[in-house]
Amino acid sequence: AQSVTQLGSHVSVSEGALVLLRCNYSSSVPPYLFWYVQYPNQGLQLLLKYTSAATLVKGINGFEAEFKKSETSFHLTKPSAHMSDAAEYFCAVSDGGGYQKVTFGTGTKLQVIP
């Protein structure tokens, strides 16, 4: 069975500071990994995804994530936080399994302090 653990349900950073949101996964087969973002009062949208190509994945809005098999991690980073980055971020994993059953983490709310 696949699972995802997001460390920290709430993260606060100052505007301009590094954003680091942690995600560790468990999967019995090589995983596909995703980060989704949910802005206030909006639906989820894809930030980036890892599909067994390059281990460093770049997404929208300056975010990137690195797949580290040895650490079973897929942490999300952004060098400099912007006020507009305040949102809830969800890490997700899929094992392929013939179709796209995706398991989501519990989410991390990012607060950006001016």
Partner 1 sequence: GAGVSQSPSNKVTEKGKDVELRCDPISGHTALYWYRQSLGQGLEFLIYFQGNSAPDKSGLPSDRFSAERTGGSVSTLTIQRTQQEDSAVYLCASSPRPSGATDTQYFGPGTRLTVL
Cβ–Cβ under 8 Å, residues 112 and 10: no
User: Which of 44, 39, 23, 38 lies closest to 92, judged by CA?
Assistant: 23
The answer to whether residue 98 forms part of the interface with partner 1 (CB under 8 A) is: yes
What is the x/- site pattern for partner 1, positions 22-61, by CB under 8 A? ----------x---x----xxxxxx--x-x----------
What dihedral do alpha carbons 67, 93, 1, 110 form, nearest 10°? 90
Lookup: tokens for 45: 């949208």
Count of residues touching partner 1 (by CB under 8 A): 29
Q: How far is the CB of 80 from partner 1 (least distance, A)?
A: 26
Cβ proximity to partner 1: between 17 and 96 the closer is 96
